Amino acid sequence: MFARRIAVVGTGYVGLTTGACLASLGHRVVCADVDSLKVARLRAGQVDILEPGLAELVVEGQAAGRLEFVVGAAAAVREADVVFLCLPTPMGVGGAADLSAVESVAAEISEVLPYGTVIVTKSTVPVGTSARVRALLGREDVAVVSNPEFLREGTAVRDFLHPDRIVVGSDSPSAAERVAALFAKLGAPTVLMDAASAEMVKYAANCFLAMKLSYVNAVAELCELLGADIESVSEGMGYDKRIGQSFLKPGPGWGGSCLPKDTHAMVQIAEAAGVDFGLVRSTIEANVRAQMRVVDKVRVACGGSLAGVRIGVLGLAFKAGTNDLRDSPALAVAEQLVLEGAELTAFDPEVTGPLAGMLLVDDPYQAVKGAEAVVLLTDWPVFRTLDWVRVAELMDGHTVVDSRNHLDADALERAGLLHSGVGRASLGVTQFS
Ligand SMILES: NC(=O)c1ccc[n+]([C@@H]2O[C@H](COP(=O)([O-])OP(=O)(O)OC[C@H]3O[C@@H](n4cnc5c(N)ncnc54)[C@H](O)[C@@H]3O)[C@@H](O)[C@H]2O)c1
Ligand SMILES: O=c1ccn([C@@H]2O[C@H](COP(=O)(O)OP(=O)(O)O[C@H]3O[C@H](CO)[C@@H](O)[C@H](O)[C@H]3O)[C@@H](O)[C@H]2O)c(=O)[nH]1
């Protein structure tokens, strides 16, 4: 079934990907944003976020007459059969999700929605939000459907077009079927359920992923202390199909625009239901510990104090493949290094400054020049192929803290550098203490 017209409100990572991909599937899509400059750039085919394939789809969709961009939600929904809400739900007071954008758009469009429109919340929203949106709309003829999005930044288009599953939840089964039909061409397993369950799936999935990462980071710490190697341990665990190989890489903590805010929101959701979700709280606490362990390694490499010490930083984005700095663990590590008096010179291939507390340079060799220690925080491929002999010559000290086991330890050691990885006894912080 092809909708007469789909409206997408919010043209960020999720909204723009949803709009452009639905247009590529043959639907007619109008995307709206409050940011008029962004809308003007999108009309000109300019996409600000780093997402392979997205700009091409934006250009193709507009050329084919299937994709339009307008300012303001009301303008987009006037002729829509289905309206996707892809609005921000950032961490609000006390950690709960801030629903103000979703609520204000619901109020803004309630009177202009055509009869029988289906509203779809694609934003990550707490259980009960579909019901709340329905109440705010105050329209008996409008059904609300929850369709959580599982795409990852950096692979948004691929993830949207080849999803592991599609979750569609509504208390109106016919509205859920109508939304599921929009994705029929993708041929993905589609799970229909009630609205509350669909809203819960998203938080449950993200918290599970965060828990898996905190767990692996905690095991990595033990490996350092007990003489085991996390790379072998992860491989040995991951062959068990119940565990799986993915999401087992240790690092400087997990970050990004979703896992941190969604774990905090889950703790609040549980608290509101009278439950102390200790597992998720510990997952968050363990993440701070993983970040601070990187700081410990850098401090130890610098002889016990960071006051007035030059540190070279490789990578600032929360993971490779994106220029998104939201809740990046690299920034948390950098902030603590600065708090302890370090002077940071940083390089990230996709991040441009200025950034508070550090000097951002446009070449990795400039970042390591004169550094007492270097710390790698983002797993950009370009860091693997640095000329380590040149790095060794440029540095004042000789330790490279590799918080993601991303570098070739042998290549560094051949260049006379000390590679301090994660979860490896011979290379971890214990070596220096
Ligand atoms: N980023 C991801 O990888 C990802 C993946 C899955 C789910 N999500 C969830 O999807 C939602 C959106 O996330 P995002 O990363 O796309 O956000 P984003 O910040 O990249 O984009 C949000 C967009 O909404 C626009 N906007 C804000 N208020 C508006 C209004 N009143 N009317 C019209 N437009 C408005 C903003 O200008 C911005 O362009 C969040 O709930 C997030 O948790 C994000
Ligand atoms: O083995 C791993 C995998 C990831 N990470 C870190 O975990 C964080 C999150 O990574 P990733 O999940 O790839 O990033 P996002 O793009 O934020 O995607 C997550 O958050 C989205 C928003 O909710 C969801 O849609 C996705 O399914 C979910 O993976 C990053 O800091 C990564 O460096 C690791 O340290 N080790």
pLDDT digits (tens, 9 = 90+) for 107-127: 999 999 999 999 999 999 999
- Compute the distance between CA of residue 382 and CA of residue 68 in angstroms, rounded to an integer: 37
Q: What number is the average pLDDT over the span 156-177? A: 98
Of residues 145, 196, 368, the one with CA closest to residue 359: 368
Pocket of ligand 1 (CB under 6 A): 9-15, 32-35, 38, 73, 86-89, 101, 104-105, 123-124, 149, 151, 153, 257-258
Residue 124 Cα to ligand 2 midpoint, Å, equals 15
Rg (CA), the chain: 23
Q: Residue 428 above 50 pLDDT?
A: no
Share of the chain above pLDDT 90, in %: 96
> Tell me: the pLDDT tens digits for 20-71?
999 999 999 999 999 999 999 999 999 999 999 999 999 999 999 999 999 9
Q: Residue 432: its pLDDT value, please?
A: 42
Q: Residue 425: its pLDDT value, please?
A: 72
Answer whether 264's CB lies under 8 Å from 284's CB.
yes
Of residues 231, 36, 1, 27, the one with CA closest to residue 11: 36
Nearest CA to ligand 1 atom 1: 13
Q: Residue 338 above 70 pLDDT?
A: yes
Nearest CA to ligand 2 atom 24: 150
Q: 6-193 and 194-433: same fold? A: yes
Comparison of pLDDT for 431 and 19, the residue scoring more: 19
Q: Residue 427 above 60 pLDDT?
A: no
| Distance between first and last Cα of the chain | 65
Three-state SS sequence of the chain: CCCCCEEEECCCHHHHHHHHHHHHCCCCEEEEECCHHHHHHHHCCCCCCCCCCHHHHHHHHHHCCCEEEEECHHHHHCCCCEEEECCCCCECHHHCECCHHHHHHHHHHCCCCCCCCEEEECCCCCCCHHHHHHHHHCCCCCEEEECCCCCCCCCHHHHHHCCCCEEEEECCHHHHHHHHHHCHHHCCCEEEECHHHHHHHHHHHHHHHHHHHHHHHHHHHHHHHHCCEHHHHHHHHHCCCCCCCCCCCCCCCCCCCCHHHHHHHHHHHHHHCCCCCHHHHHHHHHHHHHHHHHHHHHHHHCCCCCCCCEEEEECCCCCCCCCCCCCCHHHHHHHHHHHCCCEEEEECCCCCCCCCCEEECCCHHHHHCCCCEEEECCCCHHHHHCCHHHHHHHCCCCEEEECCCCCCHHHHHHCCCEEECCCECCCCHHHCC
User: Which residue reads 């550090």 in tokens?
Assistant: 358
- Compute the distance between CA of residue 29 and CA of residue 54 in angstroms, rounded to an integer: 15
pLDDT band at 146 (very low <50, low <70, confident <90, very high): very high
Q: Looking at the DSSP assignment, which residues form a beta bridge with residue 346?
A: 313, 360
Closest atom of ligand 2 relative to the 252 alpha carbon: 35
Q: What number is the average pLDDT over the span 140-167? A: 98
Nearest CA to ligand 2 atom 8: 254
Q: What number is the average pLDDT over the span 81-88? A: 98
Q: Residue 3 above 50 pLDDT?
A: no
Q: Residue 426: its pLDDT value, please?
A: 54
Q: Residue 430 above 80 pLDDT?
A: no
pLDDT band at 2 (very low <50, low <70, confident <90, very high): low
Nearest CA to ligand 1 atom 11: 123
Residue 395 Cα to ligand 2 midpoint, Å, equals 32
Q: Residue 433 above 80 pLDDT?
A: no
Q: Residue 243 above 60 pLDDT?
A: yes
Domains of the chain, by residue range, sit at: 6-193, 194-433
Q: What number is the average pLDDT over the span 393-417? A: 98
Q: What number is the average pLDDT over the span 251-274? A: 98
Q: Residue 246: its pLDDT value, please?
A: 97
Pocket of ligand 2 (CB under 6 A): 124, 149-153, 206, 209, 213, 247-249, 251, 254-256, 258-259, 318-319, 329
Confirm whether the ipTM is greater than 0.95.
yes
Report field, pTM of the whole predicted structure over 0.90? yes
Q: Residue 202 above 90 pLDDT?
A: yes
Q: Residue 154: its pLDDT value, please?
A: 97
> Tell me: the pLDDT tens digits for 6-16?
999 999 999 99
- CATH code of 6-193, in short, is 3.40.50.720
Handedness of CA 53, 55, 56, 62 (dihedral sign): positive
Handedness of CA 15, 16, 17, 23 (dihedral sign): positive
Q: Residue 193: its pLDDT value, please?
A: 98
Q: Residue 367 above 80 pLDDT?
A: yes
- Residue 89, annotated ligand binder? yes
Q: Residue 157: its pLDDT value, please?
A: 98
Yes or no: is domain 194-433 CATH 3.40.228.10?
no
Q: Residue 366 above 70 pLDDT?
A: yes
